[in-house]
Structures are given as C-alpha cells and as structure tokens.
C-alpha cells in the first residue's frame, strides 16, 4: 500500500511538472538602458557654433499649383574671430539647414580683434535698406539686438554696442550689414601696386 501511494504521488508530481508552462531562457543582460540602437555614435563636435536666424516656408507657383520649400538662414562662428552667414533652401528643414551650414562655411570671414576681444574703432556699413553702426564700449559687454547680436556673439566680440540706424526689420539684411561692417577690420590683404595715383 505504501509503495502504491509513493508511485501515485510520483506520477502526480510528473504530471504537474509537465502541465506547468516551460520558462524560456532570457537573453544576457545588456545594461540598464538596453541595447544601443543605430550605428556607432560620433562624439566629435564641430569647432563652430551655429545659430538659426530665421526659418520660413516659401512657395513657388507652378503649372500644377504651388510648390512649398523651406528657407533657412544660419550664422556659424568659432567665437575666436571667424564668422559666416549662409542661406539654404530645400523641401525639408534638415536639408535646408545643412545647405545653409555649408554656405556659411564658404562665406566665412576673419576679424582682427583687440586683446580685450573688442574692435579697434567704430565701424558702419549699409546693405540694401539696413544700416548698422558698431562702436567699442569698454566694460559694457555686448549690447546689440536683432541678428546683429548673433553675428557679434558667434564672432567672439565683446564690449561693443551695435546700433541699427535704419528701420529695416529684415534680419538677414541686418546680419549682412553687420558682416559687411566687420569686413572693415578684417586682416588687410596685400594691395597690388598700380601705376595710377
């Protein structure tokens, strides 16, 4: 009787074990954040800082209707005297910004700064309807508005006062006027000697 009871309990244990769901083996632990997605990440940073002045949707009228694109204006600078402005236009914003970055790198200028990262003298320039004056002001920091501030900031210029002398609200033209003014204190290129006086 005891032997029969032992065989019954053994059979019931086997049946319960077979009826229980089988546990699947778990994959090896890959860290608290899980596996990394995508390709290898590039941790190298660009030497230039960038700032968008404006991004807008523009339309072109075609035979079948309007075609929409995005136009981006971007300022690029290393905050050590080099700065550039670029415009890019594409069907999506990412491509427009990429084109603007390439254009800004091509149009980069170098500015001669003083030891205090200011400008040596007052400068003034005009681009289309925009007129900009930039004056050195020791101890005041960077005092400027609109896109002129962005240009001066990414060029690494401090202790200056920027003033818009026109009523133009076009931020791209204001930035171009500021760049034209900064070209006056760019390193002087070797002048060609001509026969004319």
- Sort 184 into a burial class: Cβ within 10 Å, 0-12 / 13-18 / 19+: middle
Nearest CA among 146, 157, 156 for reference residue 123: 157
Which pLDDT belongs to residue 47?
82
Contact between 82 and 99 (Cβ < 8 Å): no
- Tell me the whole-structure pTM to 2 decimals: 0.69
| Per-residue model confidence (pLDDT) at position 154 | 94
DSSP E strands in the chain: the ranges are: 49-62, 65-77, 82-90, 109-110, 123-127, 130-136, 142-143, 160-164
Please give the Cα distance from 29 to 172 (Å, whole number): 53
Sign of torsion, CA 153 157 162 164? negative
Q: How many helices (H) and strands (E) does the chain have?
A: 4, 8
Tens digit of pLDDT per residue, the chain (197 long)? 555 555 555 555 555 555 555 556 555 555 555 555 544 454 456 788 999 999 999 999 999 899 999 999 999 999 888 999 999 999 999 999 999 999 999 999 999 888 888 998 999 999 999 999 999 998 889 999 889 999 999 999 989 999 999 999 999 999 999 999 999 987 755 344 444 54
Domains in the chain with CATH codes: 49-185 (3.30.160.20)
Cβ atoms within 10 Å, residue 26? 6
């Amino acid at each position: 009787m005891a032997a029969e009871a032992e065989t019954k309990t053994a059979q019931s244990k086997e049946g319960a074990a077979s009826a229980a769901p089988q546990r699947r083996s778990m994959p090896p632990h890959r860290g608290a954040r899980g596996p990394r997605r995508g390709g290898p990440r590039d941790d190298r940073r660009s030497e230039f800082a960038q700032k968008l002045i404006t991004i807008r949707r523009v339309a072109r009228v075609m035979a079948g209707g309007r075609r929409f694109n995005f136009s981006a204006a971007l300022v690029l600078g290393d905050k050590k005297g080099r700065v550039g402005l670029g415009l890019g236009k594409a069907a999506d914003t990412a491509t427009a910004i990429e084109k603007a970055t390439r254009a800004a790198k091509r149009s980069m200028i170098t500015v001669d700064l003083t030891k205090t990262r200011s400008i040596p003298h007052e400068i003034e320039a005009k681009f289309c309807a925009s007129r900009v004056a930039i004056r050195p002001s020791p101890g005041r920091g960077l005092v400027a508005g609109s896109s002129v501030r962005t240009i001066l900031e990414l060029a690494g210029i401090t202790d200056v006062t920027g003033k818009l002398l026109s009523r133009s609200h076009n931020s791209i033209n204001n930035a171009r006027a500021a760049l034209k003014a900064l070209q006056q204190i760019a390193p002087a290129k070797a002048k060609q000697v001509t026969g004319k006086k």
